[in-house]
Amino acid sequence: MQLLNQKGEKVNNFTLTVYSYMVTMKGHHDERKLFSVNKSNQNYLTVINFVMRGQYRLEIDFFDEGKLYHTGIYDIKI
Ligand SMILES: [Cu+2]
């Protein structure tokens, strides 16, 4: 994932976490992960395990100096 400011420049000063789960099986394969920042290209990286086909939801929290700035909710079907 890339984070861009309003000028289109990459930024890396946020801390990102993701909470992922299957919408119809909440509690069965939930994961909480921290993103790391790749030093060379500033991309935010994490690994999410999709253990079976179905509907997943990713709740990504964006923290700015420890304060929650935004939560993005992303639905994907595998
Ligand atoms: Cu499942």
Residue where the block lists tokens 């000063």? 13
37-59 per-position pLDDT tens digit: 999 999 999 999 999 999 999 99
The pocket of ion ligand 1, defined by CB under 5 A, consists of 22, 25, 52
Q: Confidence band (pLDDT; 50, 70, 90) for 23? A: very high
Ligand 1 mean position to 1 CA, how many Å?
A: 25
Ligand 1 mean position to 71 CA, how many Å?
A: 23
Contact 67, 61 (CB under 8 A): no
Counting every residue, how long is the chain?
A: 78
Domain count, the chain: 1
Q: Confidence band (pLDDT; 50, 70, 90) for 68? A: very high
Structural domain span for residue 42: 29-77
Q: Give domain status of residue 70, yes or no.
A: yes
Ligand 1 mean position to 32 CA, how many Å?
A: 16
Ligand 1 mean position to 21 CA, how many Å?
A: 8
